[in-house]
Amino acid sequence: FSESGVPQLVQPMIWDYAADLDVEGKVHLIEKYRRCGFSKVWFASAFKGATGVNQSLTLIGHHLKNHLQWLKVASSSPADALEGIALTGWQRYDHFSVLCELLPVAIPSLAVCLQALKNGGYSEKIKENVEKLLGMSNLETETFMR
């Protein structure tokens, strides 16, 4: 396959929005891509819009767990394998569906996910930083924000 030249023209993107994504399985997938000649891969996560077609509020904890799993995949893979991560925010499941979570209700989730990726994890200090950045007094990750 590598003789075709395709691995020099494209970089695969591995999509998974699950809170419990299979870290070991993703690491094996990256190894398979590398054996096929792809030196770099991308990850795709979501900060909103990936938990239900009629979801109206964002459950931050689900998306935070997804990003923490992706960080585990990155740390378990060769250092030079990851090109980047596409942090997606889906608006609807298809063109005929109603809108799912709108951006304003998902801003706290976006902030939490970005800070987790930037800092390589999530802690009480990072939570406090997000609260300060957003002007919030109590950021909830395991329940829906009020």
- Lowest model confidence (mean pLDDT) among 33-42, 88-97, 103-112: 88-97
73 vs 139, residue with greater confidence: 73
Type of residue numbered 57? L
The 10s digit of each residue's pLDDT in 93-121 is 888 888 888 899 999 999 999 999 999 99
d(CA 85, CA 130): 20
pTM: 0.91
Residues 6 or more apart whose CB falls under 8 angstroms from that of 77 comprise 27, 30
Q: Which band of pLDDT confidence, cut at 50, 70 and 90, is reported for residue 146?
A: low
- The percentage of residues in the chain with a pLDDT greater than 90, rounded to a whole number, is 71
How much is the pLDDT for 115? 97
Structure token pair of residue 141: 């990750």
How much is the pLDDT for 92? 83
CB 120 within 8 A of CB 80: no
Could you give all domains of the chain from N- to C-terminal order, each with its CATH number?
A: 6-134 (3.20.20.80)
d(CA 126, CA 97): 35
Q: Which band of pLDDT confidence, cut at 50, 70 and 90, is reported for residue 91?
A: confident
Which of these, 27, 68, 61, lies nearest to 45 by C-alpha position?
A: 68
d(CA 146, CA 144): 6
4 vs 63, residue with greater confidence: 63
Residue 47, phi then psi, degrees to nearest 5: -100, -10
